[in-house]
Structure 1
Amino acid sequence: MSGPPTTTAVPTGWRARVDPRPAFVRLRDSGIPIVQIVVAATGSYAFAHYGLGHPAPLLAATVTVGSLGLVRDARPRRVLETVLGMLVGILVAELLLILTGTGWWQLALALGATLVVARLLSAQPGFAIAAAIQSLIVMVIPATAPFLRLVDGIIGGVAALLVTALIPRNPLRDALREGRALFAAVDSASGALIQALRRGDRLRAERGLEKARALQPLLDEWRASLESGLAIAKISPFLRRQRFELARQDRIREATDLATRNLRVVARRVVYLCDDGVSRPVSADVLAEISRAASFVSDSLDDLSFEPPARAALVAVAGRLDPAELLPGASLGDQNLIAAMRPLVVDLLTATGMPAADARAAVPRI
């Protein structure tokens, strides 16, 4: 199996600086969040102004914008925590406004008290900042009646939670994109290691190890999207059909997380072995078979029917992973490389849905 080149072209010049595609991708990914913010802010403002007669329900709109945001992680718990932080800031400022009135030192007192209370209530820095911003708004902008803005804040918070459930973002699309990105990176790292084994190329092996070490951020992004999607799917009636797929992807992610750790172990052994410059075609072929099977696991993210072929391919290679039989008379280092591939295959088998005990049994005892 021929892997990707060790280096890739990086676009430079004026075309790279004015390329509009990243901007359009960013806009596409923010489409639903923009709709959520517009609907929630407009709806909460209209309800407070026309329904309850509040003259200027600014906080009804700002709470929705601040709590929803354009961030990828829009799980209801995060939205609720941000809303509560804002309400804490509004409440503290309203109480101090009644007790001390307005002025520069009252503003400083309200800001300090809000930050102290918020830090006591939550370990999240964003909670305290959200509270402080709303506290400043309350202290600076006058109101016609006490606690009117607290009611506006509650209305905005309820609106934010409602649109999270009723106009949900598409978590499955984001999770699929990030899962594919991870497996593409795994394939790239494996390809570099396979070429290194075929050529006895230490530099290429080091490049493969570098790529394997760079997989963790991709895993973290995938995990965050899946956790957010599963949380939203629990409360959204429109995402019920996605719950199974999100849970299945999360199972694949957990197993792939372990597999990438074992891939790093394999990569370190390849670097060590390639120091002698000797070609190792048998080990390269075995790793190539594992890489091809991993591509079936990647395909199964979109289509469940790819899980059986992925499992069959991995079982076939797992049955051969006896270092003494595969490399009779080889050095201990070469046999240890094959041994390091065994847990990698076991983890990929569990990613296909095979029970862990059956996956371990598929590998011959040594």
Structure 2
Amino acid sequence: MNPRDSTEPASTTTGVMTAVKPPLVERVRTAVTGHLGAGLDRDRKGLGSIARAGVATCVAYLIAHFIWGHPFPFFAAIAAFVIIGVSSTEKKVRKVLEMAAGVMCGVLLGELARATIGSGFWQIAVVVVTAGLLARLIDSGIVFTMQMSIQSLLVTVMPLTPSMSPGTRIVDALTGVVVAIVVHLLTSGDPRRAQKQAAHSLYRALEDALTQMSLAARSGDVRVATAALSQIRTSSQELVDEWKVANNAAEEISTYSPTHLRHAGDVERLRHLLVGSDRAVRNVRVIARREVEFLDVVKGRSNHSRLADAFLAANDAARALRRAIDSGADFTEARRALRMFCSYLTPDTLLRSDNGERLGRVDHFEGVALVIQLRSLAIDLLEATGLEHKDAQRFLPSLLIAADGDTIGPRPLTREMSAVEPPATTEALELLITDRSDPGRRRP
């Protein structure tokens, strides 16, 4: 027997190599290590919220015990913990108030039920049903309904001690609610942190997609462009929604929290940045689809380095915008990068193939649609930096149709032309789409 045979992977009868599974002990060790690592990461992210919950419950219990003189004010601790919770995400102030209202209404309903129908197995069903119906009548929120039902159930089920009266539990619950709201407002983290994290995630996804689209244009590979389209479609909307949630939470914290009022301006700038960023991401999804269609019709006959360079310039602009997030929204560098990106945005520049091959009529139509969409992306990113629409348009080269001998196409917008350039018309756009690829339709 050849000694090498014992070390070679097993193969099937068809000659396909089969993967050798690691030993069971190794697989168990890997699974346990991965699970513990993920758990430690969750602990690290949620440590602040867990600590806040502990502080709020302790403070609420101490106040009710030593100030109000209640021997066992467990409802104060319960109400504080329920409202603060252990979530690692910042709660919105509206949700905190909604939970607080649910707790108070539930305690009041439970006390009323004990005083009128008593406590027992059938009373539990009556209280839960009544609490649920009343909660849905008052508010449509699930959080309010859950808290009102749970608190009324607790009051109904838990026995009264000799030192406890219906009024003490209401006071304890109110104490826990107030303490939880105060702790939430005073100890909430920097409201900009979640905004910045969400913005960074969105722009990294945008940069990755633009890099892949650049590679697709340079190689002429439709599969790379399709992968970029799939990636941006899968992740972009979720990242936009995450940013919106962070904006809402940050706006409320900076409005109501006395320790974060000074951040209101930065929060508003980051909120405004999302408007243009959201439009830009939507445009990138369309651009990725347009690139797939363009590369599909040219069938890999040629590569387009100019188009690839334009995508890289857009990537540089997106990276500059991401850096501006951490620099107090100073968009000077980002606007310089966007000016460079805009310099590519004419069909004459972007649709010139590396080997000089002329595009067919359908190829040119798809290419122009891609160029127009890229110009729209530039406008969105410029508006994200705070520019008005008319000011953002000044960054774009002109699409004025000019005829000079055998050349028909756009020419750069000069200062003299800016005063006389007519608005784009249907005829002008038709010439832009057809003339360069259809000699029979050229003007004399």
User: Matched residues, percent identical?
Assistant: 31
* Alignment correspondent of 1:82: 99
1:122 partner letter:
D
* Alignment correspondent of 2:71: 55
Q: 1:152-231 to 2 correspondence within 5 Å? A: 152-213=172-233, 214-231=235-252
* Alignment correspondent of 1:43: 59
Q: What is the CA deviation profile of residues 327-350 of structure 1, one whole-angstrom value per residue up to 9, with x for unaligned ones?
A: 376411112111110111111112
Distance 1:357 1:147, change over 3 A: farther
Q: What is the CA deviation profile of residues 152-190 of structure 1, one whole-angstrom value per residue up to 9, with x for unaligned ones?
A: 111111111101122122332232222212111111111
Shift of 1:362: 2.2
Shift of 1:16: 6.2
Q: 1:234-249 to 2 correspondence within 5 Å? A: 234-249=255-270
1:354 partner letter:
L
- Find the residue that maps to 1:237 and give its secondary structure: coil
Shift of 1:80: 0.6
Pick from 281, 292, 295 the counterpart of residue 271 of structure 1.
292
* Alignment correspondent of 2:370: 337
For structure 2, list consecutive stretches of 5 or more residues without a partner in the other structure.
1-25, 353-357, 400-444
Q: 1:302-317 to 2 correspondence within 5 Å? A: 302-304=326-328, 307-317=331-341
- Find the residue that maps to 2:325 and give its secondary structure: coil
- Find the residue that maps to 2:140 and give its secondary structure: coil
Shift of 1:21: 4.5
- What is the distance in 1 between the residues matched to 2:278 and 2:367? 25
Pick from 157, 165, 171 the counterpart of residue 140 of structure 1.
157
- What is the distance in 1 between the residues matched to 2:271 and 2:193? 14
Distance 1:243 1:108, change over 3 A: same
CA-atom RMSD in angstroms: 2.0
* Alignment correspondent of 1:116: 133
Pick from 113, 116, 123 the counterpart of residue 99 of structure 1.
116
**Contact 1:311–1:349 at 8 Å: present in 2 too?**
yes
1:220 partner letter:
D
Shift of 1:139: 0.6
**Contact 1:296–1:306 at 8 Å: present in 2 too?**
no
- What is the distance in 1 between the residues matched to 2:304 and 2:343? 20
Distance 1:17 1:267, change over 3 A: farther
Q: What is the CA deviation profile of residues 229-269 of structure 1, one whole-angstrom value per residue up to 9, with x for unaligned ones?
A: 22112122222332222222111122111100000010111
The number of equivalent residue pairs is 355
Distance 1:15 1:349, change over 3 A: farther
> What TM-score, normalized to structure 2?
0.76
* Alignment correspondent of 1:348: 381
* Alignment correspondent of 1:294: 318
**Contact 2:306–2:349 at 8 Å: present in 1 too?**
no
- Find the residue that maps to 1:102 and give its secondary structure: coil
Q: What is the CA deviation profile of residues 15-67 of structure 1, one whole-angstrom value per residue up to 9, with x for unaligned ones?
A: 46514554343223223212321121111111112211223222211111111
**Contact 2:304–2:351 at 8 Å: present in 1 too?**
no
- What is the distance in 2 between the residues matched to 1:45 and 1:287? 59
Q: What is the CA deviation profile of residues 74-130 of structure 1, one whole-angstrom value per residue up to 9, with x for unaligned ones?
A: 222111111111111111111111110011111110010000011111211121111
Higher relative contact order (CA 8 A, sep 6+): 1
- What is the distance in 1 between the residues matched to 2:46 and 2:268? 24
Pick from 382, 390, 393 the counterpart of residue 360 of structure 1.
393
- What is the distance in 1 between the residues matched to 2:31 and 2:231? 24
**Contact 2:83–2:177 at 8 Å: present in 1 too?**
yes
* Alignment correspondent of 2:281: 260
For structure 1, list consecutive stretches of 5 or more residues without a partner in the other structure.
1-11
- What is the distance in 1 between the residues matched to 2:256 and 2:378? 36
2:228 partner letter:
G
Moved more, 328-337 or 192-201: 328-337
- What is the distance in 2 between the residues matched to 1:342 and 1:21? 45
* Alignment correspondent of 1:3: none
* Alignment correspondent of 1:7: none
- What is the distance in 2 between the residues matched to 1:169 and 1:122? 29
- Find the residue that maps to 1:354 and give its secondary structure: coil
Greater helix fraction, Structure 1 or Structure 2: 1
- What is the distance in 1 between the residues matched to 2:136 and 2:90? 22
- What is the distance in 1 between the residues matched to 2:190 and 2:266? 12
Shift of 1:353: 2.2
Say if 2:305 is the partner of 1:281.
yes
**Contact 2:269–2:329 at 8 Å: present in 1 too?**
no
Shift of 1:325: 5.5
Moved more, 57-66 or 142-151: 142-151
Distance 1:319 1:285, change over 3 A: closer
- What is the distance in 2 between the residues matched to 1:209 and 1:110? 53
Distance 1:17 1:298, change over 3 A: farther
- Find the residue that maps to 1:55 and give its secondary structure: coil
Say if 2:160 is the partner of 1:127.
no
- What is the distance in 2 between the residues matched to 1:47 and 1:304? 41
**Contact 1:91–1:147 at 8 Å: present in 2 too?**
no
